Chains A and B, each alone.
Chain A
């Protein structure tokens, strides 16, 4: 029966080539546009560390003075150096890392290469294990080495390729900002998107090429980037002067393996704030936050609002295309009232007619879906040509491919439902009579 209906559907579609093309085109355009934007949205709002992100928490404290105090306000988005070091040394979490970013000049040994700047992450030792950073060669430094301000560096694969042609460079020397560092590790390709652990650097397609111990950076006063927020008499630091303790400029991440531990850690942050208040360093009542990765990304609204707007627009467009298809299909089915009347009179049940018409609309949906997929691939190619930082990430993955097809067929079947139902309401006698 299915084969026969399919044959009927194809015949009917062929009879009205222009109209069929119109319906397929409308579906393809709608699906293409909405899948393009949905893919971009899907890529941008993805989990940067699947499987780990719910165990990683970002800590916020409120060390500000009483000016503009409002307990409903969020605490600052970063921590001061002194609080960061205190929390780090307290070691209450399963793992913890204090970090900030900047850029440092690399002076290659090869005379053929000019000095160049690379993005740097200054962090404490747990960073690599906590974020599950893959190593190609060697490993990170230990916490003790970090405290000893060792001149050690972990470099990214891209830098290793550039300077050492991809060879194992562990043990070799890298000269940066006038200081020699020993390479202890080379990372495999690693670029979490969004760049969740520090959103001040730009949220997407951002990756550091060198990783240095934070304590070493503090001693050498290497360049700091990102954002520094101060209050009171706080000075943001310049040149050799670090930001004062009235400025927040570092990120503190913890790994807490169970919800109970997370609750306990939040409690610890409150106690820490109370202790600091008793010492006279904090003035405000404890105002702490502990967000896991996805909560932190949500709170920061990392997905650009333009991307969400585009997605809304595309689905509006898909809706118009669907209404269009419903209208055309209805007109088409109603035009065949007499044919359907004859079939009914010859004994076909309503259910059979309904199935036949739905198969016809399903064929349109399938062809439209294929067209939509091609259009979406073209649309994503267009997105990749754009200068936005997230542009390069816009690729169709398997799950989106699947969703495209399901969406296309479902949408057209849905669009076919109403016309098919309407056409099945025809009274056969009336149609026969008028012939």
Chain B
């Protein structure tokens, strides 16, 4: 197909051609970035929690008046929950992965260093590793004699009595790699306060933070042997078989309410719900972006259809003359298809540059990573396809113009 006649025709419709190119370029730029953003969101929503998600339940209960001995109260509740049929394991925790509300500590490797090394989430609670289903990679799990009552520890912190503070901790593999790359973390010290170091006694495979907003820091987590009393922020975590979850949750709540009807159950949900809630905005954003992409492509396609139809109608006589002079139907068809291809290619080339610029803007204003090169061909192919599909109808209509048109109205 000879491209020169197409170019010389387009030169006579410069303004219209440029507008179409501009439209394709803008669409291409937005689509490239939007597809990338969707990818980012989907990747985020896939973030591993490190726990047995389909086997876990979370219950929070709140007493109307503070129990006289919150530790005994918590132990009673845990014992009660263990009796519920179908329950495999019970833990209490001050927070859950993806639960948003979090307790964090500033880690220093040397108590005198001025800046913290990093901020990590500190899980407090008994029987966590077993119940959550995270795997111990090396070292040992926390034992009951590691645990210190939280109020004792708090008083010790305020009075400077280091004996009443916990002395050991579990950390995640990621945290270990970040603090001591390539080295054995067991036996090393982490300082959460200037006076007391926590000795690393075990490393767990993976455990996400409740506030996992920054993908790179999701696994900066440690488990500290602090025994929490029953309070409204404490969660009971129950491990059970996936198919038993609904029954076990109902039975567990009933058991807790039976023990004290005055209590208020503030949370009762499966971990699947925890995850769904945490990522709901990402899911919504991915949906909106998909909608924007679809709308953009449709508008652009309709624009191409509209313009191509006009050009076909405008050139009816020319087409008739060409047909009379021996051009075949497929010659005419290919002419319009090639014309669209040329315009789309110009638009895509311009669109790539725009996409790059848009990404730079997003990088500075929304802390997004650089657009990987793989997204550029995605946008290009998509727009070529849309262009060819959109032009097909008008081009077929052009090909159907009979040669006899050339003889009319001259």
Contacts and interface: CB of A to CB of B under 8 A. Distances in A.
Interface stretch (A144-152, A163-171, A238-246): A238-246
B281 A233 contact: no
Contact of B23 (A66, A107, A241, A320): A320
B157 A235 contact: yes
A241 B154 contact: yes
Contacts of A25: 302
B280 interface: yes
A327 B158 contact: no
A306 B115 contact: no
A328 B15 contact: no
Interface in A286-333: 304-306, 308-310, 313-314, 316-317, 319-321, 323-324, 326-328, 330-332
Given A239-B151, A328-B307, A115 B264 contact: yes
Contact of A239 (B34, B70, B264): B70
Contact of A233 (B62, B194, B280): B194
Most B Cβ at <10 Å: residue of A69, A107, A330, A422: A330
Contacts of A69: 114
Contacts of B114: 66-69
B19 A323 contact: yes
Contacts of A334: 16
A313 B62 contact: no
A204 to B, nearest CB: 13
Most B Cβ at <10 Å: residue of A223, A234, A317, A319: A317
A29 B297 CA distance: 13
A105 interface: yes
Contacts of A19: 306, 309
Given A103-B232, A223-B232, A239-B229, A324 B66 contact: no
A396 to B, nearest CB: 19
Interface in A203-242: 223, 231-241
B195 interface: yes
A342 interface: no
B292 interface: yes
B292 A117 contact: no
B280 A387 contact: yes
Given A22-B302, A327-B20, A386 B266 contact: no
A90 interface: no
Most A Cβ at <10 Å: residue of B106, B151, B158, B262: B158
Contacts of A386: 284
A114 B262 CA distance: 7
Given A116-B264, A238-B151, A331 B232 contact: no
Given A19-B306, A320-B300, A323-B22, A306 B281 contact: yes
Contacts of A29: 295, 299
A115 B26 contact: no
Contacts of A335: 310, 313-314
B275 interface: no
A103 B233 CA distance: 11
B62 A117 contact: yes
Nearest to A330: B16
Contacts of A308: 366
19 contacts: A26-B302, A68-B114, A68-B116, A103-B232, A114-B264, A115-B64, A238-B154, A239-B231, A241-B151, A306-B281, A309-B37, A313-B30, A320-B30, A327-B19, A327-B20, A331-B311, A332-B310, A388-B284, A422-B15
Given A30-B299, A316-B30, 16 more contacts: A26-B299, A33-B292, A67-B115, A103-B232, A114-B264, A117-B264, A235-B153, A235-B157, A314-B292, A317-B30, A319-B26, A324-B299, A324-B303, A327-B307, A330-B16, A330-B19
Interface of A: 18-19, 22, 25-26, 29-30, 33, 66-69, 103, 105, 107, 114-117, 177-178, 223, 231-241, 244, 304-306, 308-310, 313-314, 316-317, 319-321, 323-324, 326-328, 330-332, 334-335, 386-388, 418, 422
Interface of B: 15-16, 19-20, 22-23, 26-27, 30, 34, 37, 62-66, 70, 103, 106, 114-116, 150-151, 153-155, 157-158, 160, 193-195, 228-229, 231-232, 262-264, 266, 277, 280-281, 284-285, 288-289, 292, 295-296, 299-300, 302-303, 305-307, 309-311, 313-314, 362, 366
